[in-house]
Structure 1
Amino acid sequence: MAVSGQGQPAARTYRHLGAFSPLVDLAAARHGLFPDVSPGPDLVAGIRAALGVLDLDAPRAVVTERRWRDGDLLGEEVSWSVGFGPRTRALVLRPAEATGPLPGVLALHCHAGAKWFGKEKIADGPAAAAEQVRALRRRLYGGRAVANELARRGAVVLCHDVFCWGSRRFPLADMPDRVVGYADDQRRLAELAGRPLDEVAHYDIAARFHEHVVAKYCGLLGTSFAGVVAAEDLAAARYLRARPDVAADRVGALGLSGGGARAALLGALDPGVTATAVIAMVSGYADLLDAHVDAHTWLLYPPGLTTRCDWPDVVAARAPAPLLVVYAEHDELFPLAGMRRAHRRISHHYRALAAPEHYTGAFVPTGHCFAVDTQELAFAWLDRHLGLTAR
């Protein structure tokens, strides 16, 4: 064991903290990071308080913008207000021939460092998907529109834009000059290199840095970036359960990466969510300290949350509610040791409640993506717990 000059064990050095690494131990001693907690109402209340979740009630002034049929699917585009910012746009997809109330699933779009598009990343409307969307799907979703594929299995699937994405994105004109100026600089460099950026790529560069600004505003207002996103997802879940074609007692949430963080928070905070599937977004927090912090969104780091619990505790906060966590073994954004630690912790929570069968932790040999085989695994799991109608 390495020792310091005073004969004490040397503090661990973290790659992105360097000489400041002792801050970790000091903070842990002062605040009690990642405490040992158990699922239940107290934990859920603590998570809600740490996030500063706003109470948005149900969506207001819901409008059906258009309807269409695409072969075996019926689609609707709906919009609503959450009381601030532009109207939320959402797609609702369901099997064309199904009758009676069906299970509902909130398909939550990912982050992916791309905010020009939201719901379109995983859901097809009546128009062809943009090439930028098709490229993202090839990289992250096996080329599929996941929401449409899930609807074909027999669910009413809701896919909505959320705070800062798609119809809910900030216009460049409202971003600080420094943020837009940085994106402009990157566009000029790309042009000089013979790789010009289109409007979408230019916007996404700005939006990536703008998230830090938005997170500051959220903190100033007593909430958090994750808290605002969670509030909008909670409102969307209320809308889905209120639809006459949805069986309100059979509603699930599913998401990859940033969408997985959204699913985890929604599953923790909403007792009306029956089953939650989190794809490639779970690790113990302590394992992220060594060079895995920078890659992630503010959705994963609500200030103050780590003094109340670890991230796996959030994911399992409503145990024994059915939970699927998919761990991508070759995920470049999460260390395998952290995934394994999270799996052990979640398993412990479910065993302690005598419900180990309600938790499925699946390790798959992929990188950070929601591959077709993994989608089918998740669809089958949702079928077991929600009773999808297609067979």
Structure 2
Amino acid sequence: MENNRRSFIKQAGLAGFGLASGIPVPEALSLGSSNKYTEMTTNDKSIIGPYGPWVDGLMKDSLPKFSFRNAAFRDVDQWRELALEKARERLGIPDLGPLPEVKIHDSHVYDGLEIESVSWQLPYGRPTRALVLKPEGASGKLPAILAFHDHGGNKYFGLRKITKTGKGQHELMSEHQDHYYEGTAWANEIAKRGYVVMVSDAFTFASRRVWMEDVPESQRSGLNDKDPENPEHISAYNDWAGRHEHVMAKSLFCGGTTWPGVFFAEDKVALDLLLSRPDVDEERVGCGGLSGGGLRTVMMAGLDHRIKCAVCVGFMSTWTDFILNKSYTHTWMTYIPRLPEELDFPEILGLRVPLPTLVLNDEDDQLYTLPEMKKADNILASVFEKAGYRNHYKASYYPGPHKFDVPMQQEAFSWWDKWLKA
């Protein structure tokens, strides 16, 4: 059992997910350059061989069409309207219909927090489970955080990755929090500072995961849904779910949508429900998360400006980084066909300018290359600076691999406090 747990957490530590965004490549590899293949050096090898510079060059002849960095865009409001319309079109965001009714399953107090276990039913799939946390005895309207859990190569779990309820924590979640969060349940910690925090299971995770009984037997790899909390079953399920991602992504593409589009649609429902609560100040709402939670932050904060303050952790680089270096380290949940022609990845988050935005990076993050992370940082800084709000954007770098440890959490919490409690 101990060996299984160690193997599981080792796999999870190597399977976190992020994204990259495009910036100009050296002149020798630009679209206008001839004979790109022969000009490659031994240090310029790409993960798709000689095709890397060609693919990267397809969108490097000029800035993306809807980049605010283009000199033609001078008015930030006019630019944002055009760019948002194009981004929404590319995501293929599905219409999920009327706001669902929230069902409350449990309410209790733990470690100074009032915790509600709730769910809601979307038009498809099993009910979405969520937790709502706030300080015990709090009254009136509070600022709020939509907290996003990570991917971590672990689809069996969702909201449990970043919360504690006092009702028993799965041994794998204790290890998960030790590995990525320095032993903390960060959603609990930010709630203690005076926030209403909602954490919901993302599409294909935990309560929203694909169950074996719901797919054809030929696709189950011999797995079933019996004894689901057993670590060996969880490890086997996560392996199956990882291999199933390309199937889900292809099916979503065939349905005219994208994985980020579905993430956004489902997270928008969670935001709608959070804002409908009488204990939430709808003018003081933030969001954030690590890795896959960082991806969801980019989409949610970039496209829905009811999010007044955003913290993206461990999910910022360039499309170029994916093309040439790191697409193999990332989930199918990342990609949006054709959008790179119009916006670099960091510019999706930049759609929220001038709203406050913090990006936290790990210098030794195995999911990206540091030069491309810094190029993404420069892109976002230039967007905010051109809009006249450079002090509303910040990026910080921390030593170590992919994580959201206590020092990073403290900076995130201070950023939210600065902009949501003033």
1:251–1:270 distance in 2 versus 1, CA, 3 Å: same
Tell whether the 8 Å contact from 1:33 to 1:306 is kept in structure 2 after alignment.
no
Q: Distance in 1 between matches of 2:103 and 2:398?
A: 40
2:204 is aligned to: 164
One-letter code aligned to 2:252: C
TM-score (norm 2): 0.83
1:20 is aligned to: 51
1:334 is aligned to: 368
Tell whether the 8 Å contact from 1:179 to 1:206 is kept in structure 2 after alignment.
no
Residue 174 of structure 2 corresponds to residue 144 of structure 1: no
Q: Distance in 2 between matches of 1:319 and 1:221?
A: 31
Q: Distance in 1 between matches of 2:208 and 2:147?
A: 17
Tell me, which stretches of 5 or more residues in structure 1 are unaligned?
Answer: 185-195
Give 1:165-244 correspondences, 5 Å limit.
165-175=205-215, 180-181=220-221, 198-244=232-278
Determine which of 117, 124, 128 is the counterpart of 1:88. 128
2:337 is aligned to: 303
Q: Say what the alpha-carbon RMSD is for the aligned residues.
A: 2.4
Residue 309 of structure 2 corresponds to residue 269 of structure 1: no
Tell me, which stretches of 5 or more residues in structure 2 are unaligned?
Answer: 1-26, 69-78, 225-229
Tell whether the 8 Å contact from 1:106 to 1:158 is kept in structure 2 after alignment.
yes
Q: Distance in 2 between matches of 1:236 and 1:204?
A: 25
Q: Distance in 2 between matches of 1:141 and 1:8?
A: 47
Deviation (angstroms), 1:32: 6.8
Q: Distance in 1 between matches of 2:363 and 2:56?
A: 29
Q: Distance in 1 between matches of 2:240 and 2:149?
A: 19
1:227–1:32 distance in 2 versus 1, CA, 3 Å: farther
1:332–1:296 distance in 2 versus 1, CA, 3 Å: same
Deviation (angstroms), 1:44: 1.5
1:11–1:34 distance in 2 versus 1, CA, 3 Å: farther
Aligned structure 1 segments of 4 or more residues deviating by more than 6 angstroms: none
Per-residue CA deviations over 1:32-63 (Å, capped at 9, x if unaligned) read 78446126121122111111011225541211
Give 1:28-43 correspondences, 5 Å limit.
28=59, 34-35=64-65, 37-38=67-68, 40-43=80-83
Q: Distance in 2 between matches of 1:59 and 1:114?
A: 29
Aligned with 2:354: secondary structure?
Answer: coil
Tell whether the 8 Å contact from 2:381 to 2:393 is kept in structure 1 after alignment.
yes
Q: Distance in 2 between matches of 1:198 and 1:342?
A: 39
Tell whether the 8 Å contact from 2:66 to 2:83 is kept in structure 1 after alignment.
no
Aligned with 1:233: secondary structure?
Answer: helix
1:234–1:11 distance in 2 versus 1, CA, 3 Å: farther
1:108 is aligned to: 148
Determine which of 193, 206, 214 is the counterpart of 1:153. 193
Per-residue CA deviations over 1:211-266 (Å, capped at 9, x if unaligned) read 11111111011001111111000110010011000001111001100100001100
1:165–1:323 distance in 2 versus 1, CA, 3 Å: same
Give 1:33-72 correspondences, 5 Å limit.
34-35=64-65, 37-38=67-68, 40-57=80-97, 59-72=99-112
One-letter code aligned to 1:169: R
2:388 is aligned to: 354
Tell whether the 8 Å contact from 2:52 to 2:323 is kept in structure 1 after alignment.
no
The structure, 1 or 2, with the larger RCO (C-alpha pairs under 8 Å, 6+ apart) is: 2
1:374 is aligned to: 408
Q: Distance in 1 between matches of 2:45 and 2:51?
A: 8
Q: Distance in 2 between matches of 1:40 and 1:11?
A: 38
Deviation (angstroms), 1:182: 8.8
1:56–1:11 distance in 2 versus 1, CA, 3 Å: farther
Deviation (angstroms), 1:290: 2.4
Corresponding pairs, count: 374
1:192 is aligned to: none
1:365–1:352 distance in 2 versus 1, CA, 3 Å: same
1:291–1:203 distance in 2 versus 1, CA, 3 Å: same
Deviation (angstroms), 1:25: 5.1
Q: Distance in 1 between matches of 2:219 and 2:235?
A: 14
Tell whether the 8 Å contact from 1:280 to 1:328 is kept in structure 2 after alignment.
yes
